[in-house]
Amino acid sequence: MIHPSGRKDKPLSDNKAPAYSPVSEQIARDILLVRAIESTDTARELLSEDDRRYATESAMKLAQWDAADGQSALTPTLLLQRRSELLIKKMTERHPSFATFAAHRQGVRLVGIALPALALVAGFAIERIADPHRVDLLSAPLLLILGWNVAVYLVLLASLFMPALPMPRFAAGLWTRLSTFKTVLPRKLPPPLALALAQFATEWLALSAPLNGARVKRVVHLSSACFAIGAVGALYAHGVTARYQAGWESTWLDSGQLHAILTLLFTPASLVFQLPGFSIADVQALQLPQSVASANGALWVHLYGATLFLFVVLPRLLLALAARWKEKKLAARFPVDLRQPYFRQISGHIGFAEPTLLRVFPYSFKVDELRDRGLATVANMLLGEQARVMLRPPTAYGEELTNEPLHDAIKAVDIAHTVALFNLSATPEKENHGAFIDQFTRGKTPDFSVMVDESGYLERLGAQAGADARMLERIALWRQFCDLHQVQLSIVNLVQPEARAEDIKRGLATTWSAP
């Protein structure tokens, strides 16, 4: 225990976090799915205590064999992976409808292939541009393809100088449903399992948003390139069986103006691919309806084809490759923090118990010796038997936090979780309690939540009539208050911590933050 006076039981300089290796997308999905099930199944209806203990012990053996075969170190990540696989298998055997949800489908790959293929067909379908025997110098479809892509490039360029915007929830959710071929949760599931899957789906949607964003960009860029390839391919394919005639007509443009536009449009492609040029007289000679030139039809097909390749196909393929690189990077190092309390508990049970700290900031609450020991018990419940408490000096009512949550003096300490501790006897106030919480959330304190101790309020109510109703009303008020401030709440009893054991574990098990 670390006390406000500075006395500490053991030196902290040697504390190190467990060696968690990077987690791939599929492994993260299994681990988080199991966490959602265990956190929701507080009554042990889905997975009994024996199921969980057996999975832990078996995972330890399997992970040891894997590490020995691969001549690598045994890490908590490997243990969590094996344990989640065993528990998912157990859940699949008991609930067949769960198997569809738990399976790793190839939907992402199929969608990534199907959409570009459809774009290729759609691009090829525009081969009949006005007159199928004529190359129009002012081809609206081809100019629209060029104009749209240039507009997209300008938006992408502008986005480099603007703050990144999160992927819209509807877009991320649509991509998730398309890529997994699931629009609703499986039917005929026990209520605790249905609740767990809903909780997992919400968490997964947020955590996978950056990865899904990279996938969407890759598929969109590749589809745009395929659409342009289809359009160009249609021009060349139709030219095999038909003889193109070049021409143009316009109400507003004369030959000189059109020559200037086409020169600006086709000069880059002409220089890169060494294509012949054209003069104002050449353009004027192609004006309809008085003149049609059949000899130069191929030239204009080459000019349009080369321009589309240079300004659409090539840039889009490069952007798709960049998105693919980012996608692979995110899929290989999925943004999930395995040092959260839930994972630390499991690692501690299977031999990776290392000293970790629960950092507590009391507000208008003097923690006496009895409740000090209760905090130590709460820390053990959350972080394993090796966990200790860093109890900061209390902040007086109405005052600002005097100890910054991320003070340089304690950055090197392995802090597993940070808690703002309140007394249930107090009525939450935005100007005081809310301002105190906001100091942590504004600073983006990692792994932060709120604890409210009910022990003092229980003593105060005693055997009064309606005490239970008043307790429930006060707890509901604090839950609503914390929901308003978007922080996780756990109700604790620091005099009898075991009385709120399930609430403590469930509350912090769902505390997570996407990087």
Q: Could you tell me the pLDDT band of residue 20, with boundaries at 50, 70 and 90?
A: low
Q: Could you tell me the pLDDT band of residue 188, with boundaries at 50, 70 and 90?
A: confident
Residues forming a β-bridge with 135: 246
State which H helix or E strand residue 217 sits in: helix 209-241
Domains plus CATH for the chain?
1-8+352-515 (3.40.50), 109-147+213-332 (no CATH)
AA letter at 281: A
Percent of the chain with pLDDT over 90: 37
Query: What is the three-class DSSP state of 296?
Result: coil
pLDDT of residue 175: 53
On the question of pLDDT at 302 being above 80, the answer is yes
Are the C-beta atoms of 508 and 490 separated by less than 8 Å? yes
How far apart CA 445 and CA 441 sit, in angstroms, is: 6
* Max CA distance (Å), the chain: 104
pTM for this prediction? 0.71
Query: What is the three-class DSSP state of 398?
Result: coil
Q: Region 15-36: what's the mean pLDDT?
A: 78
Are the C-beta atoms of 309 and 232 separated by less than 8 Å? yes
What string of DSSP letters covers 105-120?
A: -SHHHHHHHHHHHHHH
Which pLDDT tens digit goes with each residue over 339-398? 777 887 777 655 565 567 889 999 988 899 999 999 999 888 877 777 888 999 898 888
Contacts of 196 (CB under 8 A, 6+ apart): 36, 37, 39, 40, 41, 46
Among 262, 346, 335, which Cα is nearest to 300's? 262
Which pLDDT tens digit goes with each residue over 114-127? 999 999 999 988 75
On the question of pLDDT at 296 being above 70, the answer is no
Which pLDDT tens digit goes with each residue over 51-91? 999 998 899 899 889 888 888 777 888 889 999 999 999 99
Query: What is the three-class DSSP state of 105?
Result: coil
Q: What angle do CA 275, 279, 280 make, to 5 degrees?
A: 145
* Average pLDDT taken over every residue of the chain: 81
